[in-house]
A = this chain, B = another copy of it.
Amino acid sequence: MNATGMQCPADLRKDELIVLGHGSGGKLSAELVRKVFLPALSNPILDRLNDGAELNLDAGRIAFTTDSFVVNPLRFPGGDIGSLAVNGTINDLAVIGAQPLGLSAAFILEEGFPIAELRDIVESIRDASRQAAVPIIAADTKVVERGKADGMFITTSGFGIIPSGLELGPERAMPGDAVLVSGPIGDHGIAVMSAREGLRFETTVVSDCAALHGLAATMIATGGKVRCMRDATRGGVATVINELAASSGVEIIIDEPAVPARDAVRAACEILGLDPLYVACEGRLVAIVDPADADRILAAMRRHPLGEGACRIGAVTRKHNPRVLLRTAFGPTRLLDLLPGDQLPRIC
């Protein structure tokens, strides 16, 4: 009994599902942290259970980013919402040239969510965080009533250090630059769609979900001039290239036959009526680089395990009239625009 006269329910069945009390900040919250989060994510900073994480930096240039993850279903071939949340936020830091140093993870859980499943996903977060060598140093959990969320949402934020002197930005593309992509596109989107209720189809495609900071650092280490990079998530490669064209105010032409995609992805796209250029990746980046350095950067990418399938797929053609054109296999070019609405909802 406590001050409010409430008794702690001791039966096991309740204990196995998330209840609203797990989000109360009280005893059940403390128990969830102790039994589920800390065993998986333990590190000296997180273990202090302070309101904020603290660490020492020599730092000059800090990078900072955030992303919510609402992928449906929570698990898919090649990953789950946990690995996705870790790698996705690392990638947002990687593509601006930052060395990721720490992540936060904030969970919104639906009442009734199985704690065993929560534990699995927290362990997946741990594994992805270890593999990337980027610790989770701050966390939070909220619980909402049954029917007020869809199992679990995770928001990760991250920060890192950008090496001094590195100049990288979406506004830096210029005519003549080469456009590179780090590997076959669309794997993540097709893997998630294949796992989705009501849309099951046979495919061997697994998500490309991976942390790209090593690959990005390898590219930068060549000394070649990388103008900008972006990971091709929601909206796929076509969307990312449109964003970069808009930020730099340039026209970009993509050579469709040069764009790498697995046969299985192309086949699935045929079935689903999708264009692979708009299908999300979670472990591929687009880079715009100085044409004089393109071959050297591409060679370095291909020597990295996450860049083996890297290709040059297009070029920046001119200033003004920012747009993206696609040169098809048959010769003519057409506009490769942003999607007007939603192609694949809840893909990340």
Q: Which residues of A contact B (CB under 8 A)?
A: 2-9, 19-21, 23-30, 48-70, 72, 91-93, 95-96, 98, 102, 104-108, 137-145, 147-150, 153, 155, 157-159, 162, 169-171, 230-231, 233-235, 238-239, 243, 247, 273-275, 277-278, 326, 335-346
Contact = CB atoms under 8 A, between A and B. Distances in A.
A199 B108 CA distance: 24
Contact of A64 (B53, B58, B277): B53
A95 B234 CA distance: 37
A98 to B, nearest CB: 6
Contacts of A326: 3
Contacts of A5: 273
B65 A239 contact: no
A120 to B, nearest CB: 20
This chain: how many copies in the complex? Answer: 2
B66 A340 contact: no
B149 A149 contact: yes
A153 B162 CA distance: 31
Given A52-B95, A64-B102, 20 more contacts: A8-B340, A24-B344, A26-B234, A26-B278, A27-B337, A28-B341, A49-B243, A50-B96, A51-B91, A52-B96, A54-B61, A54-B64, A54-B96, A54-B98, A64-B104, A64-B137, A66-B139, A140-B155, A144-B346, A149-B150
